Structures are given as structure tokens and as C-alpha cells.
Structure 1
Amino acid sequence: MTEYQSITRRRKSKVINIGGVIVGGEAPVSVQSMTKTDTRKVSETVAQIKELAAAGCEIIRCGVPDMEAAEALRQIKSQSPIPVIADIHFDYRLALTAIASGVDGLRINPGNIGDAERVKQVVVAAKERQVPIRIGVNGGSLPPDFEPMKPLHQRMVDSAMEQVRLLESLNFDLIKISLKAFDVPETVAAYRMISSMVDYPLHLGMTEAGTPRTGIIRSAVGIGALLAEGIGDTIRVSLSANPREEIVAGYEILKSLDLRQRGAVLVSCPSCSRTEVDIVGLAERVGDALLVIDKPIRVAVMGCAVNGPGEARDADVGIACGKGQGILFRRGEKVRVVAEPEFFTALLNELKNF
């Protein structure tokens, strides 16, 4: 399987370059996250960025609440292994300082950083350094008096298009757009609508999605529905959790649609009355062990004679477990029989040999 494989005809979008990562066009859908450290604490922020980069994060965003944070971006950027985007609200001077600090992109809402002259200063600086700007519209932060009679998705699109026209009037087209809400149908409707109006790349996500238990489901439904239609150029799974969980979830969404292949895919049975071993515990241990693998490999952990052998044989490496013993497979071929206490270590050893 190739690194990038479209399941449907992808929407044609413009190409922008964010610190060496190509977004849009036929480039792979990139996976992003956001630091959850205090940006003013450089060493902590850099450490988290490096951890996320090792997990597969390709673009990182940092919140910029004040001038100290904006100035800290210079040191952060100099030590970051991946492109850094500054998240700016309300104060245009923070955007100017972030650009001067060398960031690779901005996430702003031009409508809340001041009058047209201030927006112009930011755009001129961004254009001079070829820094793309993401117009980020969140459903929950729209002004209550902005088109109150229209449905949320229409209001989000209209707000974004106002900002697009403003940037275009300043001869700026290094634009990326996001339209995020908590409500999945409204978010999907907003992206569908704007995807037919402009050709700028789209950043997908669900805002305020929640903890991993519910947030991953909400994000997978919303982001996955759009990606399956060919809409979307880069994604972030926003979770109330360690940001590493966002990266894992992002790649799982892409892998499930055959859009990206990074890291192992675990195939495991849900367990039932036919299962005679602790297949749930074994699958959890194997799943944790697979997190350090970045190569595309399929691993099966199966627990009965009904589906087990067949599923295990379809994997690169797999085990079909029965009471007291299990059968190790490698690409459809039986390797050997192992005793129950050896299930985990035998499978991992086979994985290393593979």
C-alpha cells in the first residue's frame, strides 16, 4: 500500500507550504496538534513538541496569550523539529511579533484583531515572509448578533468568507480555513458548503470534542465523513487529554480510510463466551507495545477457532489463541505453537523478527 491513497476523488485545493510541510493539492492529509504547555516556558514547550513529533505530529500550534509568549516563539521555533504555528487572538501586535520570531504559520480570526489597518499590517508582514494564515472560525465564538436567524453552519461559512474577502482584498492568498463546532452535522454541513465556494485548503476538526472516550468518536465521525467525501487537507483531533492521544487518533482515522499508513494496525476480536483466554488483556498489552512502531504493519490478536485463524492469517503477524496454547502466524503461514504464558512475548518477538 502506498503512503497516500485516495478512497474517492479529492477536492482540488490550492497548495500552501507550512515550514516545509505541503498542505493541499495531492499532498497527504497532515496530522496536527497543539501544545498544552505554557508557551512562555520554552523548555517545557519544546519538550512536548519533540515528544509529539516522535509520535508523528507534522505541524504544531502554540497558544500566544501575551507578548512574552510571542517573543518565546523565537526560541521554540529554533528548537522545534516540525513547523510551528502561532495561535493569535485580539492583539495584532502578537501576530507581528510571532512573524518576526520566525513562525511558519498563523492561526487568526482577522475579525477580532482590530481595524482594517491593523489587519493590513499583519498581512503585509505575513506576505513578506510567505507565512500562511489560517482563518479559524469556531461555532461557539461567533458574535451572537452575527446573522442570528441563520443556521450555525451558514453563519460559520459567512463569517469565514468575510475574512477571506478581506485577505484577498490585500492581495493575500496563502490561506487555510477551518470551520469547527461541537455539533457534528453542523460542522460537516459547513465544510461541505465552503468546499464548493473556494479552493483554499481546509483544516478539519471538531472543537471542544471532549475526553478520549467520547471525543475520539465525535472526531472520527465528523472528520471521517468529510475525508470520505474527499474534503480536507489537514486534521487535528482535539481532546481533553495528553496531546499524544490526538496524534494516535488522527492517524487511526486516516488509516481507517486508507488515506495514510503510519504505525501498526491492531486487529483483535472483542471476546465472547467461546474465548478461553484473557484476549482483552492481551490485546491491550499488545496495543500499548505497538505505539512505538511507526512502520505500517498489521497485527492480529484473536481468541477463538471461529474467526481467529482466518483473521490472524490475513495479518503480517498474528496469533490465534486457544486454551493453553496459541498458533503464531506470519503472512498466512503457521510459524509455531506457543504455550499460553508465552502469548505476549512470543508475539512481540515474532514482530521484531518480521
Structure 2
Amino acid sequence: MKTKEVRIGNRVIGADHPILIQSMTNTKTENVADTVAQIQKLTAAGCDIIRCAVPTMEAAAALREIKKQIEIPLVADIHFDYRLAIAAMENGADKIRINPGNIGDEGRVRAVVTEAKERGIPIRVGVNSGSLEKDLLEKYHGVTAEALVESALDKVKLIEDMGYDNLVISIKSSDVMMCVKAHELIAKQTDHPLHVGITESGTVTSGNIKSAIGLGLILNQGIGDTIRVSLTGDPTEEIKSAKIILRTLGLRKGGIEVVSCPTCGRTRIDLIGLANQVENMVADIPLDLKVAVMGCVVNGPGEAREADIGIAGGVGEGLIIKHGEIYKKVPEAELLPALREELLHWEQEKEK
């Protein structure tokens, strides 16, 4: 679904631009040092856009210093107080996220829109299933996909009628299938870019499963311009998951994909630990490769044939496998360093 182009700081979304990954800091925005440190960590992990909560004027003022120390666009998350939105823009926010329904009367919304328009700052109109208006809850007899869409489009129209259409829309629900349906509906009714995510999806385990299903179903239909995997945990986990989802759907290349077997009675090495070590080890190697981690030498070479390079464990030793062929045998203790050496050599050859 082709959407309009929207510039957010030094990034552009919509139209034919790639889907960007977003996350949100969980530090106190007023604490500049902690917030900057977390944003830099997220940037290194692959975050394209960062959102910070702005609950106080002190937090809004802190954005100015935060902006000086980060490289990616900053979105200010505003609730209730329209003055915080204006202050956030004055202090350098590249985009603001508001729900016009909790900002107040039309005059307050207009004040925010006027400031955004003067500065050319996009507004993300965000609607969650937990914040639907009473009249829509009555009309649809509860929270539904149709209610989410109507609520979002009503707010978009309010801002458009004020003469501003530099907008991004997000409609989120913790109900995966409701969220999917809502995106299918709204994609047919607007050409504004869509920020996609399953809100309040849960812990790293349950949140990843729900997000993978929901985002997979939505993105696979060509819907979505930015995504966030919302997890109750370290925000860097959101970036890892988002990258895997995009890569699995063929929507983003780059980064090493690790595949590993589920272990069986033939396994004589700590395959679970080894697979996790490999995944962590390759995180900083910028290659578009598939690495296989196999638990035994019986099926390892064959199962690793689809990978560019792989390792298979044995008793006290292991194999380095390239394109399904055994490349060399090394002691078990040297398996991980040997794999890294091969990957770094691969990277050097690529750069020549």
C-alpha cells in the first residue's frame, strides 16, 4: 500500500522508502545522561527512530541536550498537556506523538498543529484500544477494529481541517487479530504513513510471539511504514526482534541470520549455549549471511547446506562447514573463535 512521504529529522518514511524500526526509551527523559546512553545503545543495535516520554516541562527541556548527542530522529510522546507538545517542538523534537482526544478542546489541538506547521514537524496521531471515546464504544458495543479506525480517522480529519496533513497514524491494540483487521481497514481509507505495532504485547517471550504474528500478517500485505515490537524488557530486545521479523519477511537485508537445530539425543555439546553465543557474537558483523549452528556431525553438513557458513558439534571437536561442505575440523574450545575468524575474513574480502 503506497503512502505519502514524510520526513522525520534525517530519515524519510512512506512512499517507496524502507520500513524503519522504532523503539522507546524507558529512562526518565529528564535524566539526559541515562537517556542518551540508552539511545546510543539502541542506535548501535539498529534502531532508526527513538521515542521519549515527555510528561513534564523538565523532560521537554531535556530534549534539547539529548538531541545534540544522538544521531537518529527523536519523537516526543505527549499526553494530556498541549503545552508539553509545543515545548518539545521548541526544544528540537523531530516529530510529536499525540492523541488529540486527550489533549483537550479544539483550541489546544490547534495550538499544537500551528506550532508543528510553522516548524514542518510531523504529527503522529496515535489511538489505542484502551483510549477509545465513549460514543464509539457505545456505537460499536465495545472495542472493535472499526471503532479504532473511525477514532483515528476522525482525529486525522480534525487536523487536516486545520490545514495540516504532515501526519503519521498509529492504531494499536493488544488484541492481535483486531489489530490486523484494523490495519487492513484503515489502509484502504488513507494514504498517510502507518506506524505498526501490537501494544502491551507482553514479556519478551509472549510479546515476541504476538508481535511476530501480528506484524507478520500486517506487513505481508504491504501495510506499514515504521514498526515497533513492544516488549516488557530491555528495549534493545525490541530492535533484535524487529530486525528478524523484517528479514524473515524479506523486507530488510543486512545482518547475519543465525539458524540452529533444536537438539536431540545425538548432541554431545552445549548447543543451546553455543547458539546463543553465536547470535551475540555476530551482532556486530555487518554481513548479509546465514550462519547455521548444528548439534552433531551426522546431519550437520546436510542441514547447513542452505547456510553460507556453519558449525557442527561433535565429541570434543567440531566442524566448520561452508555451503554444505566440510571446510575444516577444530577442537571444540576453538569452534567459536574459528567461526568468528572466518566471518571477519569474509567481511575483509567483501570490503576489497
- What is the match of residue 64 of structure 1? 54
| Number of aligned residues | 344
Please tell me the residue identity of whatever aligns with 1:269. Answer: C
Distance in 1 (CA, whole Å) between partners of 2:250 and 2:298 is 27
| Equivalent position SS for 2:137 | coil
Unaligned stretches of 5+ in structure 2? 347-352
In the TM superposition, residue 347 of structure 1 has moved relative to its aligned partner by 1.7
Distance in 1 (CA, whole Å) between partners of 2:128 and 2:35 is 25
In the TM superposition, residue 278 of structure 1 has moved relative to its aligned partner by 2.4
Which is worse superposed, 301-310 or 54-63?
301-310
Name which of 266, 271, 289 aligns with 1:274.
266
Name which of 100, 118, 122 aligns with 1:128.
118
Tell me if 1:292 matches 2:262: no
Contact 1:33 1:237 in 2 (8 A): yes
| Equivalent position SS for 1:147 | helix
Tell me if 1:12 matches 2:2: yes
Contact 2:301 2:325 in 1 (8 A): no
- What is the match of residue 6 of structure 1? none
Please tell me the residue identity of whatever aligns with 2:222. Answer: G
Distance in 1 (CA, whole Å) between partners of 2:255 and 2:96 is 29
- What is the match of residue 5 of structure 1? none
In the TM superposition, residue 322 of structure 1 has moved relative to its aligned partner by 2.8
- What is the match of residue 39 of structure 2? 49
In the TM superposition, residue 245 of structure 1 has moved relative to its aligned partner by 0.6
Unaligned stretches of 5+ in structure 1? 1-10
| Equivalent position SS for 1:146 | helix
Please tell me the residue identity of whatever aligns with 1:88. Answer: I
Distance in 1 (CA, whole Å) between partners of 2:212 and 2:341 is 32
Distance in 2 (CA, whole Å) between partners of 1:32 and 1:129 is 22
- What is the match of residue 94 of structure 1? 84
Contact 1:206 1:238 in 2 (8 A): yes
Q: 1:63-115 CA deviation, whole Å, 9 max, x = no partner? A: 01011111111111122211000000111111111111111001001121121
- What is the match of residue 114 of structure 1? 104
Distance in 2 (CA, whole Å) between partners of 1:118 and 1:279 is 58
Please tell me the residue identity of whatever aligns with 2:4. Answer: K
Q: 1:99-155 CA deviation, whole Å, 9 max, x = no partner? A: 111110010011211211211111111111110011111111223443334152111
- What is the match of residue 165 of structure 2? 173
- What is the match of residue 7 of structure 1? none
- What is the match of residue 334 of structure 1? 326
Q: 1:26-75 CA deviation, whole Å, 9 max, x = no partner? A: 11100000011101111111111111111111100010101111111111
Contact 1:319 1:327 in 2 (8 A): yes
Contact 2:129 2:172 in 1 (8 A): yes
Contact 1:67 1:94 in 2 (8 A): yes
Name which of 126, 131, 141 aligns with 2:131.
141
| Equivalent position SS for 1:323 | coil
| Equivalent position SS for 1:136 | strand
- What is the match of residue 255 of structure 2? 263
| Equivalent position SS for 2:284 | coil
What is the identity percentage for the equivalent residue pairs of Structure 1 and Structure 2? 51
Distance in 2 (CA, whole Å) between partners of 1:54 and 1:320 is 30
Listed as ranges, the matches of 1:195-214 within 5 Å are 195-214=187-206
Relative distance call for 1:173 and 1:306 in structure 2 (3 A) is farther
| Equivalent position SS for 2:126 | strand
Q: 1:163-190 CA deviation, whole Å, 9 max, x = no partner? A: 0110110111111111111100111011
Distance in 2 (CA, whole Å) between partners of 1:332 and 1:27 is 36
Distance in 2 (CA, whole Å) between partners of 1:295 and 1:63 is 34
Contact 1:111 1:163 in 2 (8 A): yes
Contact 1:216 1:237 in 2 (8 A): yes
Please tell me the residue identity of whatever aligns with 2:252. Answer: R
- What is the match of residue 190 of structure 1? 182
Name which of 41, 64, 67 aligns with 1:77.
67
Relative distance call for 1:332 and 1:194 in structure 2 (3 A) is same
- What is the match of residue 229 of structure 1? 221
Distance in 2 (CA, whole Å) between partners of 1:44 and 1:26 is 35
- What is the match of residue 159 of structure 1? 151
Contact 1:251 1:262 in 2 (8 A): no
| Equivalent position SS for 1:301 | strand
Distance in 1 (CA, whole Å) between partners of 2:300 and 2:101 is 57
Q: 1:205-257 CA deviation, whole Å, 9 max, x = no partner? A: 01111110110111111011101111111000111111111111110100111
Contact 1:18 1:104 in 2 (8 A): yes
Normalising by structure 1, we get a TM-score of: 0.93
Contact 1:18 1:132 in 2 (8 A): yes
Name which of 337, 340, 349 aligns with 1:345.
337
Contact 1:105 1:131 in 2 (8 A): yes
Distance in 2 (CA, whole Å) between partners of 1:305 and 1:72 is 56
Normalising by structure 2, we get a TM-score of: 0.94
Relative distance call for 1:264 and 1:114 in structure 2 (3 A) is same
